[in-house]
Amino acid sequence: MAQKGVLRPGFVQVRVLDMDASIKHYQDHMGLEVVSTGSDGRVYLKAYDEFDHHSIILREADAPGLDIMAFKVSDDEYLDTFTQRLNGMGVETTEIAADKEQQTGRQVRFETPTGHAFSLYAEMALSDNGPMIKNPDIWRKEPRGMRIERFDHCALVGVDIKGAANIFIEALDFSVTERAYIPDNGEPVAIFLTCSNKAHDVAFLGDPEVNGKLHHVSFNLESWNDIGHAADLISRYNISIDIGPTRHGITRGQTIYFFDPSGNRNETFSGGYTFYPDNPVREWTVDQMGKAIFYYEKEIHDRFVQVYT
Ligand code: FE
């Protein structure tokens, strides 16, 4: 487990079609705070319980989807270590200079064989509006909307998920917490990875025909009760729902899935088991995928495995 090395998912950059509609969704309904707007129009947001400057960047574009998922690393030396390890296993890296507007230190970018772009960075300015640290109240200002605590994880769709996962395991010291596989040939159909104590920090979902797609961006809520509150808001504001409230077999997390106005799937997630790196990998056979993904319904609806951005 990486108390040093990769600490956690840090931020995502998501493409949206209409910035005003997206701000209404992410700020007013989900309850994130807009912290700044870039000179190029990109909008930076964070959740109330996050210390760093931002955890999600919205970029207006012609098509929805995910530009980058970025992980925060414990210190600058690890950026060099990880760069060497990535290059050593044949993964190309690109260095992005520190950016004042983004309040972010230098980044190391790489791509997985599934066509997803990742970034590693060690420095980000603290938010002026982060959690209190001296005689701290539980929050600085009462949480709004879905009461999101923090950005939690992404699930990404691609063909060579074994190759993608291997980069995280070999170069970045991630652990596999859980996987689903085809018993006949042992090939994985889903791989869940963590750099921490969480049940997952990133997941790769296999699709024989689709690369580089986003399945969902997930945000953490405090409780099952808050998942219900999110469901109330989804109905009240006619947000397009995918499924839930329900529970995952994989991770055991409680969940509700819905779509932002551009069609990107969001999840609000609560719970999930605590993982330690000596835990055995939990495994699901593909015939049990219904229960693995939706523990109560025990079946997966078509939209969940067909709609990606
Ligand atoms: Fe998820």
Tell me which of 25, 53, 200, 229 is the catalytic residue: 200
Query: 244 C-alpha to center of ligand 1: Å?
Result: 12
- Report, as an integer, the average pLDDT of 106-113: 98
pLDDT at 8 > cutoff 90: yes
For the question of residue 216 being annotated catalytic, the response is: yes
Q: What is the pLDDT of residues 51-93, one digit of tens each?
A: 999 999 999 999 999 999 999 999 999 999 999 999 999 999 9
* 200 classed as catalytic: yes
Residue 1 pLDDT:
47
State pTM to two decimals. 0.97
* Candidates 25, 53, 116, 216; catalytic one: 216
Q: What is the pLDDT of residues 116-166, one digit of tens each?
A: 999 999 999 999 999 999 999 999 999 999 999 999 999 999 999 999 999
Q: How far apart are CA 161 and CA 144, in angstroms?
A: 37
The predicted pLDDT at position 55 comes to 98
What is the model's pLDDT at position 84? Answer: 98
Residue tagged active-site, from 33, 50, 149, 267: 267
Task: Output the CA 241–ligand 1 centroid distance in Å.
Answer: 15
pLDDT (tens digit per residue) in 247-300: 999 999 999 999 999 999 999 999 999 999 999 999 999 999 999 999 999 999
**Residue 248 a catalytic site member:** yes
175 alpha carbon – ligand 1 mean position (Å): 17
Q: Catalytic one among 26, 44, 121, 257?
A: 257
